[in-house]
């Protein structure tokens, strides 16, 4: 645990964002006709792929020196963020359209949250890390 002591705020934000994304896969993605039941991403499809994508983001953040900001000039880290976040956004959008086409199924909160977290993961490499630094 000494490794995580004094972790940079940017890395902490990325880790918390990815954990929220993992949690979102367990929330309802679809509700069947009223209160007949809920489906999450693990029940009906892409949940494990999304969990793997967010876990890859967490691992890429923890590999290097955690006391420094993430080096997004490193093409490998940027590629992990863009493919994991972009893949999650793509999976969420495909799921949206599959769910919307069913007349008795409505979208759940987990699908929206997963989409937002995926967009955030894609956007993070382009944000200024100095905004999170202490003044």
Cβ-proximal residues to 107 (8 Å cutoff; 6+ apart), any chain:
29, 30, 31, 96, 99, 100
What's the confidence (pLDDT) of residue 135? 45
Residue where the block lists tokens 């009223």: 34
Q: Are strands 37-39 and 30-32 parallel, antiparallel or unpaired?
A: antiparallel
Ranges of beta strands (E only) in the chain are 30-32, 37-39, 105-107
Per-residue pLDDT of the chain (135 residues; tens, 9 = 90+): 566 678 888 888 899 999 999 999 888 888 776 666 777 777 766 888 999 999 999 999 988 888 888 888 888 888 999 999 999 999 888 888 887 777 777 788 888 999 999 999 998 877 766 655 554
Cβ-proximal residues to 32 (8 Å cutoff; 6+ apart), any chain:
38, 39, 104, 105
Q: In whole angstroms, how far apart are CA 31 and each of 20, 100, 102, 129?
A: 21, 11, 11, 39
What's the confidence (pLDDT) of residue 102? 74
Among 118, 99, 102, 7, CA closest to 53: 118
What's the confidence (pLDDT) of residue 71? 83
Q: In whole angstroms, how far apart are CA 12 and each of 23, 102, 116?
A: 16, 39, 18
What's the confidence (pLDDT) of residue 133? 58
């Amino acid at each position: 645990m000494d490794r995580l002591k004094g972790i940079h705020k940017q890395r902490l934000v990325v880790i918390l964002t990815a954990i929220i994304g993992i949690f979102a896969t367990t929330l309802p993605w679809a509700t069947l006709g009223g209160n007949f039941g809920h489906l999450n991403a693990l029940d009906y499809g892409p949940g494990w792929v999304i969990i793997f994508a967010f876990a890859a983001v967490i691992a890429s953040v923890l590999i290097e020196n955690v006391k420094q900001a993430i080096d997004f000039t490193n093409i490998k880290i940027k590629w992990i963020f863009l493919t994991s976040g972009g893949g999650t956004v793509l999976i969420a959008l495909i799921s949206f359209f599959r769910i919307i086409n069913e007349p008795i199924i409505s979208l759940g909160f987990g699908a929206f949250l997963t989409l937002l977290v995926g967009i955030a993961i894609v956007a993070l490499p382009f944000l200024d890390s100095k905004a999170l630094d202490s003044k």
